[in-house]
Copies of this chain bind each other. A is one copy, B any other.
């Protein structure tokens, strides 16, 4: 066994970083045995050096992250700062000075993954980021290694714990969105500004990363169609229950049926209660993968939190350290398929549409005609009404998003349609 320790520099020492440091200390012997050499914390870059950091020697702490990654003796830089800058520059500088990088930064990888991979390859170093998607759940490694001999057709997952907590609460208690959000905030599941979660930005970044790996194609955050879940109502959950469904915020990465293009999207959707994703409760995450040979796989676990994320970071540290000792690098970016990313209009799925309509004869015929004119086939219609007001619930067969959008625009122009109460996609059937 080699005895010179591998040196790890930690950028950021918040919830995740401090847990990484703690486990590196408490599990040092295990890590040494598993890596084949000791691994030591060589420096910790923080913004506020005066905060007490239990278990971290004060002389390791610095505010100069740039100097730390430029030291030249660092084997692995662990980036758990988050955000685009200074993380991007620090990672690039780390590669230039001979370090491999382990990152948990979904936003950066979704935006600049290709450039970062290129920098890693140029310098013969590793870029690993298991912790960037779905916390502790092993997902990046299974997708890019275990399924490397298979053809992945769909990745559909609950990849944001905050929104799953809120939706689960709405489902189980009948609460409205605001009430469920308030509870999530009070319990620490939602941040003071929940925008990144509830508007789907966080999930969209993860969708971009998953799609890129699954389809061997560059997919950036901008390629992901994104709809948040702030408009989901208690009435939507009641409609879902009537369909034998619940509502989840899903990240869906799909290969088109002809195989020639891919799509990536994040939006709330109804899924049948019998689908494995329907029973994912609270802040848990789960990702459902469909491939040609393996069939249907699901990966389930805690999607966030200091310890789970640290577990994923440490798995990557071990892998990167083993690679360094062996003089090798792990799999880098695989974008050879270079499939076009189609716009949302090309996505084909089913829809659940609630319309407020006039309660008079002929309305259903008018509405059905509009669907037919746009080539959207109707599966079921349910009509109910009294006192001159009525509602129509239409569930369609599979149709393109463009066709559905055209249908809805035309429906809004009908005198007898007073409003479109909700449109919800139906997935997982």
Residues of A within 8 A of B (CB): 19, 23, 27, 30-31, 33-34, 130, 136-138, 141-142, 145-151, 216, 276, 279, 291-302, 305, 307-308, 310-319, 322-323, 326-329, 331, 334, 336-337
Can you list 30 contacts pairing A with B, beta carbon distance less than 8 Å?
A23-B150, A27-B149, A30-B337, A33-B216, A33-B334, A33-B336, A33-B337, A34-B334, A136-B295, A136-B297, A138-B141, A141-B146, A145-B315, A147-B311, A147-B315, A148-B314, A148-B319, A149-B313, A149-B314, A149-B317, A149-B318, A292-B307, A293-B307, A293-B310, A294-B302, A295-B308, A297-B301, A298-B298, A322-B331, A327-B327
Residue among A149, A216, A295, A326 with max Cβ neighbours from chain B (10 Å): A149
Closest B residue to A276 using CB positions: B300
When chains A and B are docked, how far (Å) is the Cα of A305 from the Cα of B292?
A: 13
Cβ contacts under 8 Å, A299 to chain B: 297-300
A19 touches B314 (CB 8 A): no
A312 touches B130 (CB 8 A): no
B334 touches A311 (CB 8 A): no
B300 touches A300 (CB 8 A): yes
A295 touches B315 (CB 8 A): no
When chains A and B are docked, how far (Å) is the Cα of A27 from the Cα of B305?
A: 39
Cβ contacts under 8 Å, A308 to chain B: 293-295
Given A33-B336, A145-B141: A150 in contact with B295 (beta carbons within 8 A): no
Q: How far is the CB of A45 from chain B (nearest CB, A)?
A: 21
When chains A and B are docked, how far (Å) is the Cα of A44 from the Cα of B158?
A: 43
B297 touches A148 (CB 8 A): no
B302 touches A301 (CB 8 A): no
Given A136-B294, A328-B328: A315 in contact with B146 (beta carbons within 8 A): yes
A302 touches B295 (CB 8 A): yes
Cβ contacts under 8 Å, A310 to chain B: 293
Closest B residue to A286 using CB positions: B298
Q: How far is the CB of A340 from chain B (nearest CB, A)?
A: 17
Q: How far is the CB of A330 from chain B (nearest CB, A)?
A: 9
